Amino acid sequence: MVWLLRTHLDAFIEQAERDSGPGLPGFVERQLRAMIDCGDLTRGFVRLECSSCRGPRIVPFSCKTRLCSSCAGRRMNEQACHLVDRVLPRAPYRQWVLTLPPELARRVAFDAELAGKVFGLFAAELARWQEETARAAGVDDPQAGSVMEVQRFADGARLWPHAHVLAPDGVFHEASDGSVRFVGHAAPCERDLVLVLTRLESRVLSYLKRLRPASDEDADESEDPAQLLLACSRTAAAADTASKPTASPRRRSRPRQRLCVRSETGFELHAEVRVPSLVAIGTTPNRLAAQLVLESVFLCTVGALLGVGLGAAAVAYNAAHGLDMSAFASSGSGEGISWAGIAFDNVIYFRLDVAKLGPPVLWTAVVALFCGLWPALKAARANPVTAISGRG
């Protein structure tokens, strides 16, 4: 990527100016030029020393731009670790994704205040539905919470802001002893998604209509964001109707997905992805070490028991039918076989001594315990940010 920018960026900017007049926005050009120097030691670096590491480490300066995949990936990993380790309580979570109609998405992309209002209404309506569901189940004073990330690009690198919300499948409330407890609720159904989306759509349309000043009543309707949204919704609805005339207006006419609904004005809400628990992700070092040790002991113990069971089944079969060894007897001899001076019958019957099965299984568990200690201690001492980013 850096090589492409160094080689072709100037020609790309000149071509954009010839094709579209003003050319690229200034902030886009600044970020692209900053990416050229990202990680370049000739542009500056920091020399780090650590008493517990092998020698110094040279760290070049980074551009810290949003378009740089390296800087954005590092920022994403560090933020994910912060949320899991210090923000999100251990609970089952669900991802809610709100997609906006095309024209509204384009306006939101360049209007930070409008984006904050639209996506804030989405978070408020989602919390409202959760709290109403909890009150119906008998929970007093429920409190909902969520974490939202706004993604500016859709598939194909299209500029299409949409919101990803990570919300627990439940609410929190303060118990009589002052502690805060989590109370889960049932998974949402499509009727719940339709309710949330209908309320959100109504509030967003009302807000867009209030944006037009009273003095501009006679202005061109194409400048009214509400009219732009409605025109966009008619286009989207016509496209959906042409592709599948019998589709319900409240559901996608594209390939069927669970927990995914679409309104007539082009809003779309998806809530199928569920994270059962953050215990395995946001665990403490001691819990992680114990988990690895227990997994090692469990797997080895299951293997030992499985081996004992198969062996016992083989012994039981041979105890009933015997093991025919006549093929190894001397030709024409009917006295059986012999080895090292010990005579055997032609058919050998096995016997299982249950008292001797315990020690092998016990020793297998002990060996598994010691074999699991080293990786458990190593994983417990690892820095999550360093491990996820691949720098450790």
Give the strand pairing for 347-348 and 323-324: antiparallel
Dist CA 189 CA 346 (whole Å): 70
**132 CB contacts (<8 Å, ≥6 apart)?**
none
DSSP 3-state assignment of 183? strand
Q: Tell me, what's the pLDDT at 371?
A: 82
Dist CA 358 CA 342 (whole Å): 30
Q: Tell me, what's the pLDDT at 214?
A: 44
Residue type, 248: S
Q: Tell me, what's the pLDDT at 145?
A: 93
Q: Tell me, what's the pLDDT at 277?
A: 61
Predicted confidence (pLDDT) per residue in 343-387, tens digit: 767 777 888 887 777 787 788 878 888 888 888 887 777 665 555
Dist CA 186 CA 183 (whole Å): 10
Predicted confidence (pLDDT) per residue in 243-255, tens digit: 444 444 454 445 5
Q: Which two tokens stand for residue 348?
A: 């050998």
Q: Tell me, what's the pLDDT at 217?
A: 47
List the chain pLDDT tens, one digit each, 392 residues: 778 888 888 888 888 888 766 777 788 888 888 888 888 888 899 988 877 776 788 889 988 887 788 888 888 888 888 888 888 888 889 999 999 998 899 889 888 899 999 999 999 999 999 999 999 999 989 999 999 999 988 876 678 899 999 999 999 998 888 889 999 998 999 999 999 999 999 999 999 988 865 434 444 444 444 444 444 434 444 444 444 444 444 544 455 578 899 999 999 999 999 886 654 454 567 777 787 788 888 888 888 888 888 888 888 888 888 877 777 666 555 556 666 667 767 777 888 887 777 787 788 878 888 888 888 887 777 665 555 545 55
What DSSP line would sit under 77-89, residue for residue?
HHHHHHIIIII--
